[in-house]
A and B are shown apart, each in its own frame.
Chain A
């Protein structure tokens, strides 16, 4: 706390804008490595387009696998960002101030990544635009009854709105940078980006209003997007997919994984840029508590799935869930349970949830667990549905792994650029929570 009191407005400016100094060798090497991985991912994708989807590990009847898993995973990641920035904003949760910019950036980049996979997994990616309702000479439109089209709109909207939200939130801070940097090229860039922000009262007036509306839109949007994603599965009739609990289950899962990812990202940044003053233990604890909550919800969903399968007396459902726990993919299933339901229980202990290292490790576990949750839902359900005659196993191929690695590289590329180009913490909002300088205070 006393550290925080040492903060002054100018120190805030200084410390945060300092992050944008010339990139170090470490940063460059990291960046280059990242690009290399990305290039490999791109190669894998092009190879797949050229030869055909067969180079991926799909096999009858498992027609969706790692690609869609990644899609759901990244969309999930994308959620906590908006949650922290929008929902917590509406709830005036103070612990969000220091981390919301990073998580918003994460949101935007995660959506950018997620958006790739529906195209990557197409059999004929070159005609992906047929999914858009555009006027054409064939007089053909799209099928608005298809959950995939709901995806197109939901994800599209989500990307647009979260980017706006992200950008608008940054305008004042960019102005601050503009007023600080001297060297010409950066000066010009930031000048343009800041749209001539002056911090005058009328600007602030409209700004706060607008910001409130964005938040108000983003909140239901976030819920809707992941509900829609969950409907990709819930709307079908595949045992293990066709379930009413999916939307809340998925939303909770999304927030769960998203928070974990935030921690995974924030911890190292905090360390590297010495932001202990801004990002405090208290902030982490706040997130840790939310993780406990969401973890419990997810665990509850796991239990309920089993219960419903058993209680409904639906042989297909029951067969499916017994298969998950005991069948060919049982390992993955238990990895999921361990990572998502068991590990987070540690956070009940204050010692653990106030220990940065522990948090970091736990967050990694959760990321893995949540990836496998999606994998299990998609692959296991498909390989063991109604018709025993059609059952078959799925084995992943190097192409899919390559593309997956590429997607992570893609995400981190944006992130690396972000922390070097844009203010990773919100300057103006941190000032809001600082005590305003008054003459009385000075006098005393």
Chain B
């Protein structure tokens, strides 16, 4: 038990350099953090000899912290450009859990898996512990902050003395808000440039909008209001623009309520995770979306159903006249009747919405495609309705890939003397053919502000590690209507320094800048800039009040109404043609952004590595998706290593046979294949970007991701593809059930008998509550946020690839996916967790009462009583129990994240979902203190809280008024495998499908 006790962080004293690159954490701060020994529980047998424990009191008690009482701080998530609002739980001075901020209009309470995993960025054992500089022998060695800063100061002075200020370049990701302003002003003051680089910056969207409406911006979309959603490869539930926001809005639009639901059609060559949620998947020929859009427009216009002025109509008619459905059908391989049908549905069910521009489907003709889609929206009258140009994205400010390319070019021409890099990792995210690394070598001095030793930072001359988002002050704006505040949740874990502070403090040492950058700390600077905001938005208010209010709420949230826009003249100049593909190969190569790693920045977080990909359920590695037909042709089985060859190199990875992809296409997820970036990321999987050509979308200069044709060949090597679910079929056992709209309307579907009446025993007696849950399958998009949230809340260990290969992952909740091929190919997801059965088979077989049924309907699991016969799991109908095959460890300081209210399990005991009993306990305690009953929806388990689409509802089944007890009687309700009569406390609501046309 002893090692887990350490893992359990009863007293993780972290001395200088221990397990870290350097620095570690200032002891005093640490003790302040530690406060009172409490820490996470480690379970031992009934026979624990008492350890001699030390109690370490505060020196000066921080007024905010009461040991044992969690505090919540609002902040903004920076794991992707979406900038969701978050609340972070702080126990004894440590951030231990991230939850979505219900006030934020972006995610309104939900998060994605990446957001949950931000904690593992904060506590990542491979973080850079302090500033580093490159020594004479060319290796990075630790140094002190003032030294490091003075080095930079000297460098800048030197460059300016040569009058080469214009050769200073600050390369950052899309950091809007104050920091952005600071960096802009600062670099300009030095005479340099600030270049904003986002891996997925969606230039074609901007450009297309400029062409069609004269607005060079990315709008927001009101998916929630639409009745008909037509997406041309926009992966809005994964990485596109603002996934959590659109996931929520999508569930509002597509979720079944009062006998109706919206329809969602996804057009893409590969059925993406987003496409899985669609009612119809149109496997279009890669790169020909434009023509389909035009075909549909043509059909609509010829029907005269378009809501446009006659003038516009003629103009558009001229544009689309050549694209009669039958013609289009030939180009796109989409049946004519489908085209006409969609056209019909699209105009008839209003408001509708057409989306496009998913990175994976960005071809060299993307802008044209998006123009066509804009036209579609326009003639359906969606622009200014469900397309909101009033509220645009800051992502619009990002520089285009073409500009990045030219930067690299000027670097290689030695036109850059000082390159400051912040939050981007170009040597991983740029295609090899762009030769960024070579260019970087030509830059005399490179400064990286990264917190992690990534591929780019490794080549830097000076490393000034920034805090992670959870340790610093800042602000971020994703869309005009939201100003998010970033506030530090805890003292820095390592010897890092906020980039803002660094810039300000070095400005003091550079003549000419002191005056302009007078603020002492970035915090002051931030407040000043918010004074500006306040005078703009609430001039009458007193600033301090305003500021505290915003910090508490997590930011400013406004409503910005759509503005009316008309079609611009330029549209008529657009000419449509098929995109360019490089390489002679027979097969289209698709590199798609992973919803787990985004552009690869998530790869160093074990939770994300172990989160099974929803479609393949693969973990810890890359794979290539290939159609069974194609696989048969080249004789490939799952697990075979395939060599994928483009003109620019080849990659080798394992095959996954996937019916959801066109036979002429293969797809590889982006995100893995790091050469460095910490123990969890490096030398794992392959990076598909490496073999992409430097090909841009001609009009916008955005990177064309879908631009290669490759040759695929077997290498002969074969290994088990490590994934968490082997079977793809549910063998007609009705695990994940579905029902068609027609059936629901007609009511002709068998009503489900619920167990009790067939039981030989009297029904269970529940004293005050019976906790239960309902899970709406028509809303579940399989994003896995619940899984990661559960890991974070319940101290679930990460076991690594080798153990997952033995199916020993510890996840208490898993997303099962089942393939269906009855009519067309579709996939169903079902979150599977402990059902807390009223008649649980696991309970009576335990010889020592380690698991039993408690008076609130919980199927309790008492870890420290368990002797590990594992009989309960054998007898579990749903196979949701997990066994601790070993004692798992959390490398320092990952263990700081452990939740003190949940035991850390040790080897030899069973564990499983507890409905977050610790939350239930706190909820009940609070209610008891306030002498009232527990309110419905007051207690929310981690999974339900994290879910961006609000699939999971938790509550008291005994209270007839509670939402969950209503849902339990819902007409769509069913219990999984209820014929076994386990009487689960979880009601699943059938997925609702449109009747296939």
Q: How far is the CA of A388 from the CA of B735 in the complex (A)?
A: 9
Q: Which residue of B lies closest to A390 (CB)?
A: B879
Does B808 interact with chain A (Cβ within 8 Å)? yes
Q: Which residue of A lies closest to B729 (CB)?
A: A388
Q: Which residue of B lies closest to A391 (CB)?
A: B727
Does A143 interact with chain B (Cβ within 8 Å)? yes
A residues near B809, Cβ cutoff 8 Å: 60
Stretch at the interface among A219-227, A235-243, A277-285, A427-435: A235-243
Does B138 interact with chain A (Cβ within 8 Å)? no
User: Are A237 and B841 in contact, CB atoms less than 8 angstroms apart?
Assistant: yes
Q: Which residue of B lies closest to A316 (CB)?
A: B733
User: Are A60 and B867 in contact, CB atoms less than 8 angstroms apart?
Assistant: no
The one of B47, B806, B867, B980 that contacts A59, using a Cβ cutoff of 8 Å: B806
Does A130 interact with chain B (Cβ within 8 Å)? yes
The distance from the CB of B847 to the nearest CB of chain A, in whole angstroms, is 4
User: Are B848 and A389 in contact, CB atoms less than 8 angstroms apart?
Assistant: no
B residues near A143, Cβ cutoff 8 Å: 844, 846-849
A residues near B875, Cβ cutoff 8 Å: 236-238
Q: How far is the CA of A271 from the CA of B913 in the complex (A)?
A: 60
The one of A54, A130, A152, A236 that contacts B886, using a Cβ cutoff of 8 Å: A54
The distance from the CB of A167 to the nearest CB of chain B, in whole angstroms, is 30
Does B878 interact with chain A (Cβ within 8 Å)? yes
Interface of A, secondary structure class, is loop
Stretch at the interface among A121-129, A206-214, A289-297: A121-129
Does B577 interact with chain A (Cβ within 8 Å)? no
Does B635 interact with chain A (Cβ within 8 Å)? no
Total contacts A to B, CB within 8 angstroms?
Answer: 168
Q: How far is the CA of A140 from the CA of B832 in the complex (A)?
A: 33
Does A444 interact with chain B (Cβ within 8 Å)? no
Assuming the contacts A124-B908, A145-B844, A386-B980, asked whether A131 and B867 have C-beta atoms less than 8 A apart, the reply is yes
A residues near B980, Cβ cutoff 8 Å: 237, 386
The one of B726, B735, B880, B883 that contacts A392, using a Cβ cutoff of 8 Å: B726
Does B402 interact with chain A (Cβ within 8 Å)? no
User: Are A388 and B818 in contact, CB atoms less than 8 angstroms apart?
Assistant: yes
Does A414 interact with chain B (Cβ within 8 Å)? no
Does B803 interact with chain A (Cβ within 8 Å)? yes
What count of chain A residues pass the 8 Å CB interface test?
49
Assuming the contacts A148-B869, A388-B731, asked whether A138 and B46 have C-beta atoms less than 8 A apart, the reply is yes
Does B870 interact with chain A (Cβ within 8 Å)? yes
The one of A52, A138, A146, A316 that contacts B845, using a Cβ cutoff of 8 Å: A146
Assuming the contacts A61-B879, A126-B45, asked whether A389 and B846 have C-beta atoms less than 8 A apart, the reply is no
What count of chain B residues pass the 8 Å CB interface test?
56
A residues near B563, Cβ cutoff 8 Å: none
Does B874 interact with chain A (Cβ within 8 Å)? yes
Q: How far is the CA of A187 from the CA of B868 in the complex (A)?
A: 48
The distance from the CB of B612 to the nearest CB of chain A, in whole angstroms, is 11
The one of B870, B884, B976 that contacts A64, using a Cβ cutoff of 8 Å: B870
Q: How far is the CA of A144 from the CA of B806 in the complex (A)?
A: 34
A residues near B830, Cβ cutoff 8 Å: 389
B residues near A53, Cβ cutoff 8 Å: 868, 883, 885, 907-908
User: Are A123 and B867 in contact, CB atoms less than 8 angstroms apart?
Assistant: yes
Does B576 interact with chain A (Cβ within 8 Å)? no
User: Are B46 and A63 in contact, CB atoms less than 8 angstroms apart?
Assistant: no
User: Are A52 and B907 in contact, CB atoms less than 8 angstroms apart?
Assistant: yes
Does A365 interact with chain B (Cβ within 8 Å)? no
User: Are A388 and B727 in contact, CB atoms less than 8 angstroms apart?
Assistant: yes
Assuming the contacts A388-B735, A389-B832, asked whether A59 and B818 have C-beta atoms less than 8 A apart, the reply is no
B residues near A123, Cβ cutoff 8 Å: 866-870, 883-884, 907-910
Interface flags, A43-61, vs B, CB<8A=1, else 0: 0000000011110001111
Does B394 interact with chain A (Cβ within 8 Å)? no
Does B417 interact with chain A (Cβ within 8 Å)? no
Q: How far is the CA of A131 from the CA of B841 in the complex (A)?
A: 19
Q: Which residue of B lies closest to A119 (CB)?
A: B867
Where the two chains meet, the residues of B that have a C-beta atom closer than 8 Å to any C-beta of A are 45-47, 725-727, 729-733, 735, 803, 806-809, 814, 816, 818, 830, 832, 841, 844-849, 865-871, 873-875, 877-880, 882-887, 907-910, 976-977, 980
Q: Can you give 14 contacting A-B residue pairs, CB < 8 Å?
A: A54-B907, A58-B883, A58-B885, A63-B874, A123-B868, A126-B45, A130-B46, A130-B865, A143-B847, A235-B845, A315-B731, A316-B733, A385-B879, A387-B976
The 6 nearest A-B residue pairs measured at CB = A123-B868, A54-B885, A123-B908, A390-B879, A389-B816, A52-B907
